Amino acid sequence: MTPSPPQFEIRLVCRESRTDVTVEGELDLATRAQLHSRLQSVIDDADGDVHLDLAAVSYIESCGICEILAACATLLDQGRTLRVTRASRQVARLFEVCGITDLLADRGPVEAATAEADEPPQRRMQRRCSSPPRGSGRAG
C-alpha cells in the first residue's frame, strides 16, 4: 500500500490591517501553484500587510521560496509588506542559507542590531534581489 502524501493546507484570517496566512505541510513543486493562487488572491482582494506563518511547514523547496519572494516584491510595489511571523526549523534554515532572514519577524539580537536601521527589510530584499550575484564577474 502506497502511503498517502502529506496534507497541505493554507488558511487565511483577514484582520483590519493585515491578512494572516498559515501554511501547513510540504511546500514544493506539487503545492507551489496552491500557494501562488492563495497569495495572489490576498494581494488582489485584501488591504494591508501579509503575515505568513510557516511554523507547520515540514519541508520547503526553492520554488516555495520563489513564491514568497515574488509576493513580497508585489506587496512592496504596492507599499505593503510581507512578514514571516513564524517559521519551522527547516524554513528558518533555508532562509538563512538563501540570505533572506530579513523576512523573518523573529531575527536574533545580533542580526537585528547590525541591520540597516532606516531601511525596511523588504527594501533590503528588493535591493539584494536586483543586484548581480556575488562572484558573477559583473560590476555592481
Segment 108-119, tens digit of pLDDT: 333 333 344 445
- All three cell numbers of 5: 502524501
Q: What pLDDT does 76 receive?
A: 92
Residue range 71-89: average pLDDT?
93
- Indicate the Cα dihedral angle 14, 101, 55, 76, nearest 10°: 20
What is the tens place of the pLDDT at every residue in 39-59?
999 999 999 999 999 999 999
- Banded model confidence at residue 26, pLDDT cuts 50, 70, 90: very high
Please tell me the pTM assigned to this model. Answer: 0.73
Has domain 9-130 been given CATH number 3.30.342.10?
no
Residue range 103-110: average pLDDT?
55
Q: Residue ranges of the domains in the chain? A: 9-130
Reading phi first (left if > 0) and then psi (alpha if -120 to 50, else beta), residue 52 is in beta
